[in-house]
Structure 1
């Protein structure tokens, strides 16, 4: 009751015959013994709050309903895809699904307002707009807009001005609390949303960031409006303002707002550059939890939104530790040097020196574990650097279990930080380094590799690690005669093929069986030179002997800044094609992708891509333009083109 008295001091709690409970709010003292204006204001205030709680319930009911429908559809889709028995009966549903997919890709795949949202698809911006629209509408609906001027007791010349500002700012604050668990869920690496939808956790980073911006705006408006009410509209001043600001729940509210603003400023590009990305991540975790605690101290009646936030956060952190322990817990190898059977993986390091973009290192290790799915990645922590940092990298090899162990191979661009430190160790003759793994994370791309789906892989530089496992997986399967496959890889120098020489040699042997075409574009070489013709380079990694093959050297397409180029001189190469001419030549995706689709006999096409942001943005526009819902509806599945890209900042 003392908390209610402090929070709603305009009520006469001592004269109340009963206390009416309100979920998420202070109890209402009934009957109201104050003046008519104050009682009318309290009626409007409590009514607005109750409606606000109803709207938050509707919001979460809609979110849960969407997730439930998504999970059911995901299960149904898996069952129908894996069961040939239901294929004839599902032909109509299959046709509708393909048509809707083509329409979605056509209109929602390209980037949306890059100046504001960055390299983000229209679909994600549409989801954000729907959420923001709901919040905007229901921040104002169900509130009685009025002003009540009432006299101050025992002061004939002072008046209280009570208005809709109070109930409205409370509504905004309630919505900010209600969004907190969703924000934590969107940021989790061990994501419940990934478990339900099948989408990788990094897909939700955009919504997490912008939802945070919305919470900052809501918290700021809530704080500013109540400062206006208590420090200006309520009388007498400054007595009322001082009594208000010194109350415990207000102090916690001020602390929560300061923490929220600190989180916001540190998460801006300038804040991240100032502190460093790893420092930003650690500080972000700590400040977020302290902020939730301050919100609890400010208004514990809304702890129904704070408990789930804490639970999701601790589950995320605990699950990461469990994943790491499972990967490195080997009790059969227990000795005095290892604690509880925990053993790091020893990775061999091969360095490929480069002068213009940082060295590249290849890590190869073996670990007793279950195989991962194609498309998933691991977080690697380099023990010789810092145990407080880990970076996501995609294994470039297909997972194969041999004698209880799975081989991992990684290509890492070592520009600065921990990766640069490992490259420096390799330059000084250190050939092995201990690595701690966490994972796997991300979506499985296996379901996209159906026999009737054509595959085109596009990679830039070290992005080859994302698309190469797809090709290696297809090379191990029974070939599909009507399927066409193409690899487009842009690298700076032809010698960069040594990074994945062993894998390229394997694909070279399977080229005809796979109906595979490989195009490699060199962007910095003044003259074309194939990779080393020796069977083994100094690192012991075999490279394809291209000098013995017919290599077609075709002029490169020059991409302009707008992504539009003149492709009249482009001649597609046969088999393995090296393209190099003049300066900074890049593959002309505006011609290569449509040309690939024109060669297809039947079936949809999936484009797997990883590389610079500009390349991914161009691909989104190109793939979108290649889709046609009407043509797919009339049976031309070649116009159903999907894009699967690696949108992580680090590979």
Structure 2
């Protein structure tokens, strides 16, 4: 009678009752268990309903993109005014704008750091659902346990304990689905797997909480309420379900603690990834040993794990398998050949330039690959965004292979060991690379022009430019003119010599698409700190004459800063690129970037795409949310790399 009931629950018969009280308890017990199973399936009906709604929205967005592509005509200003007059479009735009204004910023009071209010609201929704699931429909009675001495059976302890355990089992397939790179939710909803990782983490934490509530409530019932004691509690420890349950709790606690970044920093990212997957599989086995009658939910989790691995290794196999001996190589599995070059700036920050030669995997700008370096480890892979993308006029095929390029910031862990393979600066080293992908939303989705994509702002920090620059190139190639739109490219770097990472690419875009976009480069470490003081005095100016004086003063200070920082042209910066030296501060996202761009925009539709440090994403979300007023419909896509 302890713990969850045996299955099938609907056919569980009453044992020989000692008295009416005992029979009433058994009847209530069976009714509660049938209700638990129905509630577990109801949970998945709710999940299916949410996924179905997101799927419909995804289909709607894709149909809009196809309609825009068929039109293939750039709107004139009069057409834009006609669009504004459309009541339905204005209503939809107003709802989107209001939602973004309130849901884009960081969650209220910082309860959920580095997440949006929308993500925080999702956690609150799951919390409320879990509470309602755990307490609604519970038989809050008390029965005498016919033992010597008589014990008590508390409905709250037993039935809430059972319900929380059932919900934890129901969440198991969900948490494993959200962890998979190739998951059905991403395919249906169009939401890339890395943006579902937040929900994967929190569903795992809910499983942890529910499991421990289940354990504590039944421990109180078996250790205090049941009689005789301590015989009852000691004898419980010898039962199979108790031993496996304790083991599952221990494994789950390990997974829970390692979901926090502080612990991940202590143990290292590589240890976290390897141990997380291994312990998760052991956890499924322990749950099966604890209560085999719930195996259907565990089998679903195990099937998801193996399906994800099957698809992942299948991708790798077909990417690197050479079926016919040729000049490329002999028959068999061959890693790609790549060149690795080391760069160091004046601060001693190391970056690596990786070029993978002759790849034939089709992908678009904004997507990323998981790279494995056999020279370091054959069982460890990390995600990296490609710093280039094939031209729209020349797609990747076996006859026209493409060289993928990556800019890798060297930190601790594998990137630190990778840097040791290229010890000398500006020297090319050849290494083998195994890649898996592509992953992430394609450029057609990211450059969605059906809703807010009239004006484009690309914002990147450091190596985040690998995400934004190829996307801007794809946008420019897809149209013959910029009539009716404004395009800005903003890049924040530590030192002006970091500009060399993409100097050739930016110069090529300026030559190929003259006058169609504006480039602004913010240099945070070079220059004089007085630059920020000039910015604040300019903001407080009111009269026209005073503004002229401030602007003149600002030009003078920038000349002094440029002189101290060195001529930007000496670093390969063309005259078309505006370089702003900040002298030890970060750019003010609202005043220096988003605000000025809003003033340049044609119409009210704005699409912002960005990538960089997490702190940059936080302030960018807040700044984009703030301009969603007065009919402005500004959307944001931040390339998350938090795992």
Task: Give the TM-score normalised by structure 2.
Answer: 0.85
* Residues 355, 43 of structure 1: alpha-carbon distance in 2 compared, 3 angstrom cutoff: farther
Report if the CA contact (8 A) 1:607-1:643 is conserved. yes
**Structure-to-structure mapping, 1:532-571, within 5 angstroms:** 555=531
Aligned residue pairs total 592
Match for residue 544 of structure 2? none
Match for residue 535 of structure 1? none
**1: CA distance between counterparts of 2:268 and 2:538?**
38
Of residues 100, 103, 114, the one that matches 2:95 is: 100
**Structure-to-structure mapping, 1:69-468, within 5 angstroms:** 69-83=53-67, 94-113=89-108, 115-152=110-147, 155=148, 158-164=149-155, 165-333=157-325, 341-356=332-347, 358-400=349-391, 401=395, 403-428=399-424, 429=427, 431-449=429-447, 453-468=454-469
**2: CA distance between counterparts of 1:617 and 1:138?**
34
Q: Deviations over 1:289-321 (max 9, x none)?
A: 111111112112212211111111111111111
Q: Deviations over 1:470-529 (max 9, x none)?
A: 111123232232211111111111111111122111122145342x1111111112389x
**2: CA distance between counterparts of 1:336 and 1:446?**
32
Structure 1: which 5+ runs fail to align? 9-20, 529-553, 633-638
Match for residue 58 of structure 1? 42
Shift of 1:591: 4.0
Shift of 1:581: 4.8
Shift of 1:454: 0.8
Shift of 1:96: 4.0
Shift of 1:585: 4.9
**1: CA distance between counterparts of 2:297 and 2:214?**
17
Match for residue 583 of structure 1? 584
Shift of 1:425: 2.7
**1: CA distance between counterparts of 2:253 and 2:337?**
43
Report if the CA contact (8 A) 2:335-2:434 is conserved. yes
Shift of 1:566: 5.2
**2: CA distance between counterparts of 1:466 and 1:567?**
36
Q: Is the partner of 1:243 in helix, strand or coil?
A: helix
Report if the CA contact (8 A) 1:23-1:50 is conserved. no
* Residues 65, 378 of structure 1: alpha-carbon distance in 2 compared, 3 angstrom cutoff: same
* Residues 336, 224 of structure 1: alpha-carbon distance in 2 compared, 3 angstrom cutoff: same
* Residues 115, 92 of structure 1: alpha-carbon distance in 2 compared, 3 angstrom cutoff: closer
Match for residue 636 of structure 2? 643
Q: More deviation in 598-607 or 121-130?
A: 598-607
**2: CA distance between counterparts of 1:273 and 1:448?**
32
**2: CA distance between counterparts of 1:114 and 1:344?**
48
* Residues 337, 81 of structure 1: alpha-carbon distance in 2 compared, 3 angstrom cutoff: closer
CA RMSD of aligned residues (A): 3.1
Q: Is the partner of 2:333 in helix, strand or coil?
A: coil
**2: CA distance between counterparts of 1:86 and 1:193?**
28
**2: CA distance between counterparts of 1:67 and 1:349?**
42
Shift of 1:150: 4.0
**2: CA distance between counterparts of 1:588 and 1:6?**
58
**1: CA distance between counterparts of 2:456 and 2:239?**
64
Shift of 1:330: 2.1
Shift of 1:160: 1.4
**2: CA distance between counterparts of 1:138 and 1:24?**
21
Report if the CA contact (8 A) 1:454-1:606 is conserved. yes
Q: Is the partner of 1:182 in helix, strand or coil?
A: helix
**1: CA distance between counterparts of 2:382 and 2:539?**
39
Shift of 1:241: 2.1
**1: CA distance between counterparts of 2:263 and 2:300?**
28
Q: Is the partner of 2:433 in helix, strand or coil?
A: strand
Higher relative contact order (CA 8 A, sep 6+): 2
Q: Is the partner of 1:480 in helix, strand or coil?
A: coil
Task: Give the TM-score normalised by structure 1.
Answer: 0.84
The question of 1:471 aligning with 2:472 is answered yes
**2: CA distance between counterparts of 1:85 and 1:268?**
44
Shift of 1:371: 2.1
Q: More deviation in 566-575 or 414-423?
A: 566-575
**2: CA distance between counterparts of 1:245 and 1:421?**
47
Shift of 1:101: 1.9
* Residues 91, 320 of structure 1: alpha-carbon distance in 2 compared, 3 angstrom cutoff: farther
Shift of 1:22: 7.7
The question of 1:35 aligning with 2:19 is answered yes
Q: Is the partner of 2:514 in helix, strand or coil?
A: helix
Match for residue 511 of structure 2? 509
Shift of 1:608: 1.0
**1: CA distance between counterparts of 2:130 and 2:538?**
43
**2: CA distance between counterparts of 1:255 and 1:36?**
37
**1: CA distance between counterparts of 2:196 and 2:89?**
27
Shift of 1:95: 4.1
Structure 2: which 5+ runs fail to align? 72-81, 542-549, 559-574
Report if the CA contact (8 A) 2:22-2:145 is conserved. yes
**2: CA distance between counterparts of 1:202 and 1:404?**
30
Report if the CA contact (8 A) 2:3-2:158 is conserved. no
Shift of 1:114: 6.6
Report if the CA contact (8 A) 2:345-2:498 is conserved. no
Q: Is the partner of 1:524 in helix, strand or coil?
A: coil
Q: Deviations over 1:234-266 (max 9, x none)?
A: 111222223322112222212211211122223
Report if the CA contact (8 A) 1:106-1:627 is conserved. yes
